[in-house]
Amino acid sequence: MSRLKIAIQKKGRLNESSLSILRECGIEIPNGAGKLIAESSNFPIDILFLRDDDIPQYVHQKVADLGIVGENVLIESRKKVSMLKKLGIAKCRLSLAIPKDIPYEGIRFFQDKTIATSYPQLLQSYLDRQAIRAQIEEISGSVEIVPGLGLAAGICDIVSSGSTLFSNGLKEVELVMKSEAVLIGSEHLEGEKALLLQQLLFRIDAVLSSKGKKYILLNAPNDKIDAIVRILPGMKSPTILPLAAKGWSSLHSVIDEDQFWEHIDELKKAGAEGILVVPIEKMIQ
């Protein structure tokens, strides 16, 4: 029986979240701090722990069948692998930033300037699209301190909230790309491995579909049911069960969590009582 090999980040932002997606898929992974490889005891998959920059290469060379990396790392690597699924984690953007007290009037600011980045390929193709010629200085870490040292006019780096930029006296001026973590695979998986991948993708879909979704139960007088169903757009076809109390029913449905918070007051006004919102672990569609 063959086993899949999946490469995930050894240490860093994607390590925990990659492991938790696999665990939510029901895959047991032994906790072995510092190990290079871990074998699942209940699904034929081995987990390789690597630096994220190396993952596209390992998948391309078929040392690993699958991998989890940021789209930014995948595109930067220019390796030919398949992008199998967006995972909705590690959402961030690659942006250009400059010192916050320097006036900025558009992309031409960067013409003939030096930009420091760990993503030279992504930056170069962005600058080409914008018809800007600039000097790219490749730096592997702590890019945000470079403008302060006078080594570059600006940087191109990962941003999520913007607080790291801000605390280094920088402001974000252009969006280069949006990124999130993706599942990648070597091209042409065959035989048992292809079947195992289908099983894994099925489980990942079930886990991702349930994200942000809640199961809602509430009680309402029968004559208010229509109004309540209209308030919650996600409640297309709720289950309606009679309560022991005459003239009352219980409504059950799946809704987006955001929707719930937006509509809670309206629901109460419309006559909903005893509202329960419970988590959903998996959802098969």
Summarize as ranges the residues that interact with Mg ion (CB under 5 A).
52-53
Span near ligand ATP by CB under 6 A; candidates 59-67, 70-78, 183-191, 245-253: 70-78
Nearer to Mg ion, 15 or 209 (CB): 15
C-alpha to C-alpha distances, 244 to 187, 241, 248, 273, nearest whole angstrom: 58, 10, 8, 15
Nearer to ligand ATP, 75 or 270 (CB): 75
Location of structure tokens 């916050």: 100
Structure tokens at 71: 């789209």
Alpha-helix runs per DSSP H in 7-119: 13-24, 55-60, 71-77
Nearer to Mg ion, 136 or 201 (CB): 136
Q: CB–CB of 270/228 below 8 Å? A: yes
Nearer to ligand ATP, 142 or 198 (CB): 142
Of the candidates 23, 35, 51, 178, which one interacts with ligand ATP according to CB under 6 A?
51
C-alpha to C-alpha distances, 161 to 128, 166, 177, 277, nearest whole angstrom: 27, 10, 15, 29
Alpha-helix runs per DSSP H in the chain: 13-24, 55-60, 71-77, 120-129, 163-167, 191-210, 225-231, 257-269
Nearer to ligand ATP, 10 or 100 (CB): 10
137 φ, ψ (degrees, to nearest 5): -105, 115
93 φ, ψ (degrees, to nearest 5): -140, 155
142 touches ligand ATP (CB under 6 A): no
251 touches ligand ATP (CB under 6 A): no
Of the candidates 3, 13, 100, 171, which one interacts with ligand ATP according to CB under 6 A?
13
By CB under 6 A, how many residues form the interface with ligand ATP? 16
Q: Is 70 helix (H, G, I), strand (E, B) or coil?
A: strand
List for the chain the helix, strand, coil content (%; round to 5): 35, 30, 35
179 touches ligand ATP (CB under 6 A): yes
Of the candidates 9, 77, 95, 168, which one interacts with ligand ATP according to CB under 6 A?
9
Nearer to ligand ATP, 124 or 250 (CB): 124
36 touches ligand ATP (CB under 6 A): no
158 touches ligand ATP (CB under 6 A): yes
Shortest distance, position 53 Cβ to Mg ion, whole Å: 4
Chain contacts with ligand ATP (rule: CB under 6 A) = 9, 12-14, 51-53, 70, 72-73, 90-92, 158, 160, 179
